[in-house]
């Protein structure tokens, strides 16, 4: 079985990270994989030792030459299935290339934003199967007229060997000026509007008014970085907030954190939640999108209403005051990642889809 994976994301988080996990596990299961990605993308270096990597010039939605390049690669390498992992034009161009090369195509859908009904019905009809990373995304697609029989939920995965509990390692204190008495909260997300950072910052202001000794690590980058820093200054919480940028050592930082917060307004699934749960952290997150499928309320974390700083403050206050409960939630969260969100399960579910298509 020879699978061609198309991933046009240039950074090594979110979708590209999942593609890396999938290829790594499929290789162990005897599947022959080829990765097509843009030149100088991070995933190219990560996968070069796993499979054949073909880097192409890719100019996005309006790159009309790309499907011709992709068709040539498919025919030359005698591909059995094209698996498209990205959007931003890659879904359209991949569908055309698969049709011209006369091979089946699979599309992974990781975002929960809606599309015009006419567009969704036409686009998803081009694929033999659509892999939704949550049932919430599947529900959205069905509401847009996509055939439910064509959609299969395959959850994203977390590397439970890399991300695991390691309490009191001291890694956090050696990299950041945080005393042992602070409650350390982390948010891992791009600095964009829908991730809800402002609601967390408003929550921090409420907690500071109650004399709570907390620090918040803001892990990630994005276009709103300067605006969010200015907002923290404006509401006078800058002493409690540490902007850390994009970090490749989350597996070492997160185990030393007390609580992970994810106040997103929209979310397909939430890889950061998977990573935090695997590290044995209690999670406080908005009850939106696929998050509701990852977190079992009051068992592996706490779900709150989106866009509500008061709800966040209430949940965090409760957990800060209940260390034993935090411990129990963290243990349950770790167990759930091991059983339902492992790389082995994600790869096995995907491989079953491939086999069914080829039959």
Backbone angles phi, psi at 261, to 5 degrees: -115, 135
Q: CA 105 to CA 94: how far, in whole Å?
A: 8
Judge whether 34 and 2 are in contact, CB under 8 Å.
Answer: yes
Q: CA 207 to CA 45: how far, in whole Å?
A: 43
Per DSSP, the residues of 19-51 read HHHHHHHHHHTT-EEEEEEETT-HHHHHHTTTS
Q: Which domains does the chain have, with CATH numbers?
A: 2-157+342-358 (3.40.50.2000), 171-340 (3.40.50.2000)
Q: In what order do the strands lie in the sheet with 241-245?
A: 241-245, 214-219, 183-188, 259-262, 283-286, 301-304
Q: CA 336 to CA 62: how far, in whole Å?
A: 42
Averaged confidence pLDDT in the chain: 93
| Alpha helical stretches, state H, the chain | 15-28, 42-47, 66-77, 90-101, 117-124, 135-143, 171-175, 197-209, 225-234, 250-253, 271-278, 291-294, 309-320, 323-340, 343-358
Judge whether 196 and 307 are in contact, CB under 8 Å.
Answer: yes
Which CA distances in Å does 75 have to 69, 241, 355?
Answer: 10, 53, 20
**pLDDT reading at 333 higher than 80:** yes
Judge whether 154 and 132 are in contact, CB under 8 Å.
Answer: yes
What does the pLDDT look like over 253-309, one tens digit per residue?
Answer: 999 999 999 999 999 889 999 999 999 999 999 999 999 999 999 999 999 999 999
Which CA distances in Å does 199 have to 105, 147, 212, 238, 286?
Answer: 40, 37, 17, 15, 11
The percent of residues in the chain predicted with pLDDT above 90, rounded, is 81
Question: For residues 253-268, b (16+ Cβ closer than 10 Å) or e, as one string?
Answer: bbbbbbbbbbbbebbb
What does the pLDDT look like over 10-43, one tens digit per residue?
Answer: 788 788 999 999 999 999 999 999 999 999 899 9
What does the pLDDT look like over 52-62, one tens digit per residue?
Answer: 999 998 887 77
**pLDDT reading at 334 higher than 70:** yes
3-state secondary structure of 357: helix
What does the pLDDT look like over 135-156, one tens digit per residue?
Answer: 999 999 999 999 999 999 999 9
Which class for 155: exposed (0-12), middle (13-18), buried (19 or more C-beta within 10 A)?
buried
């Amino acid at each position: 079985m020879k699978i061609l994976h198309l991933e046009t994301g240039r950074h090594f988080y979110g979708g590209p990270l999942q593609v890396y996990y999938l290829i790594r596990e499929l290789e162990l299961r005897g599947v022959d994989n080829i990765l097509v990605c843009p030149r100088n993308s991070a995933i190219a270096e990560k996968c070069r030792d796993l499979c054949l990597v073909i880097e192409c010039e890719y100019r996005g939605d309006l790159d009309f030459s790309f499907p011709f390049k992709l068709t040539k690669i498919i025919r030359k390498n005698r591909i059995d299935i094209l698996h498209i992992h990205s959007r931003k034009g890659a879904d359209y161009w991949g569908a055309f290339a698969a049709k011209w090369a006369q091979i089946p195509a699979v599309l992974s859908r990781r975002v929960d934003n809606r599309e015009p009904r006419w567009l969704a019905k036409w686009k998803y009809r081009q694929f033999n199967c659509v892999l939704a990373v949550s049932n919430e995304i599947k529900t959205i697609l069905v509401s847009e007229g996509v055939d439910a029989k064509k959609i299969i939920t395959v959850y994203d995965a977390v590397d439970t060997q890399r991300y695991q509990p390691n309490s009191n390692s001291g890694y956090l204190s050696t990299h950041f000026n945080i005393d042992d008495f602070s409650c350390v909260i982390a948010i891992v997300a791009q600095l964009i509007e829908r991730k809800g950072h402002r609601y967390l910052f408003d929550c921090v202001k409420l907690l500071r008014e109650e004399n709570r000794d907390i620090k918040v690590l803001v892990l990630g980058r994005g276009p709103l970085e300067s605006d969010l820093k200015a907002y923290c200054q404006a509401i006078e919480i800058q002493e409690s907030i540490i902007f850390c940028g994009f970090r490749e050592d989350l597996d070492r930082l997160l185990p030393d954190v007390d609580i992970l917060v994810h106040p997103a307004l929209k979310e397909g699934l939430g890889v950061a939640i998977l990573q935090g749960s695997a590290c044995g952290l209690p999670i406080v997150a908005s009850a939106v999108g696929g998050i509701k499928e990852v977190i079992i309320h009051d068992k592996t974390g706490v779900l709150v209403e989106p866009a509500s700083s008061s709800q966040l403050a209430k949940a965090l206050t409760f957990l800060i005051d209940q260390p034993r409960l935090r411990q129990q939630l963290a243990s349950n969260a770790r167990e759930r990642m091991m059983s339902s969100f492992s790389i082995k399960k994600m790869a096995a579910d995907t491989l079953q889809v491939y086999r069914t298509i080829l039959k």
